[in-house]
Structure 1
Amino acid sequence: MSIITTLPTNLESIAHQSRVASISRTTKETDIQVQVNLDGDGKCNVNTGIPFLDHMLHQICSHGLLDLDIQAKGDIEIDDHHTNEDVAITLGQAIAEALGNRKGINRFGHFVAPLDEALIQVALDFSGRPHLSYGLNIPTERVGNYDTQLVREFFVALVNHSQITLHIRQLDGINSHHIIEATFKAFARAMRMALEMDIRRIQEIPSSKGVL
């Protein structure tokens, strides 16, 4: 006996709808251009002027299967704070625009990522309500030239402008690089889970209120 599974007739057309966006942000401190494709295959073309941040953005692309093109110029001769924050602001805005009304998505995502001794848990909800619960204990002030306080600032800005609820928990870890990288990997996989389409309610907004 053979079983044929039939997907909703409108699924193919919905699957081919582009979830892409381009956002520019220019201030007296930074000039940021972001292009995002939520249904990509991990292409990453980023140049923020902050090498460690570029490395983390590559983790988002690779493990979240987003295509990102981010070009940033900022006042890094002062420090990396403005550029780090404004990249996250613009990326959050681009994700929100590409996602639209959030119809048909799984909405929730979670992942636990190990990296050697580090173990990081991320849970998130594309709820439309920005909230960050940040539980990292990074033991050093810097990784290379990157100020590790900027990890929290990145996620604060991203959460506020993509309008997601994000919980980050450090379950283990003593190496700063490992802790931060595992965080970005866990975030990427959790976001990928949340953004994938739920074929059982492909035309519905995933909320009992009917809106996110």
Structure 2
Amino acid sequence: MERLGKAERNTTETRVAVSIQLDGNGEVNCITGIGFFDHMLTLLAAHGRFDLNIDSKGDLEVDGHHTVEDVGIVLGKAFHQALGDKKDIQRYGTAFAPMDESLATVSLDISGRPYLHIEFPALAPMAGDFDTQLLEEFFRAFSIHGGITLHIRVLYG
């Protein structure tokens, strides 16, 4: 069975369309209008070896909040749809990711019960054109709409 999910969201602030193929090979096309955010979403899909298409237009002249949150909402919905009945998945998982001077860990439970716990050291206010205060908004929206218990911790770096 193909594990494909598609979702859209249209509001007065944003228009977001996402498709995700969990059994892909890391082909990615992310257009949010926020370069660093696109970069991080691209890396997520490439390293996760799933295909991801995100097309988003938002009120970036105001700020990135609506775009980042709505991408999280729609990505969560598409991910949830792609999992279907969740047959034959590993429900729990934990991974550590060392990247240069940083070390992060993520633990998740694809239970249908959303929850987010996120911890990270003080960050610079901006990473390129991305407002780092929006990280929690993105992961909270993804967790809620994906039905995922998600614990993220950046240990250092």
* TM-score normalised by the chain length of structure 2: 0.97
Structure 2 spans left out of the alignment, 5+ residues: none
**Residue pair 2:121, 2:156 contacting (<8 A) in 1 also:** no
**Residue pair 1:121, 1:169 contacting (<8 A) in 2 also:** yes
Quick check: which has more Rg, 1 or 2? 1
Specify the alignment match of 2:28 in structure 1.
44
Specify the alignment match of 1:35 in structure 2.
19
Specify the alignment match of 1:201 in structure 2.
none
Instruction: Give the match's secondary structure for 2:60.
Output: coil
- Separation (CA, whole Å) in 2 of partners of 1:139 and 1:92: 25
**Residue pair 2:113, 2:149 contacting (<8 A) in 1 also:** yes
Kindly report structure 1 stretches of 4+ aligned residues shifted beyond 2 Å: none
1:81 aligned to 2:65? yes
Indicate which of 89, 102, 106 corresponds to 1:118: 102
* TM-score normalised by the chain length of structure 1: 0.72
Post-superposition offset of 1:146: 1.2
Post-superposition offset of 1:138: 3.4
- Separation (CA, whole Å) in 1 of partners of 2:4 and 2:69: 22
Percent identical: 49
Instruction: Give the match's secondary structure for 2:121.
Output: coil
Specify the alignment match of 2:80 in structure 1.
96
Query: Which residue identity is paired with 1:25?
Result: R
Indicate which of 135, 138, 142 corresponds to 1:154: 138
Q: Which has the higher helix share?
A: 1
Deviations 1:2-39 (A, max 9, x none): xxxxxxxxxxxxxxx10002111100110011111011
Structure 1 spans left out of the alignment, 5+ residues: 1-16, 174-212
Instruction: Trace 1:1-212 onto structure 2 (pairs within 5 A).
Output: 17-173=1-157
Deviations 1:136-190 (A, max 9, x none): 12331111221101111110000000010111112221xxxxxxxxxxxxxxxxx
Post-superposition offset of 1:109: 1.1
Post-superposition offset of 1:114: 0.7
Query: Which residue identity is paired with 2:28?
Result: C
How many equivalent pairs are there? 157
Q: Which has the higher strand share?
A: 2
**Residue pair 2:35, 2:128 contacting (<8 A) in 1 also:** no
**Residue pair 1:138, 1:148 contacting (<8 A) in 2 also:** no
- Separation (CA, whole Å) in 2 of partners of 1:143 and 1:48: 15
Instruction: Give the match's secondary structure for 1:138.
Output: coil
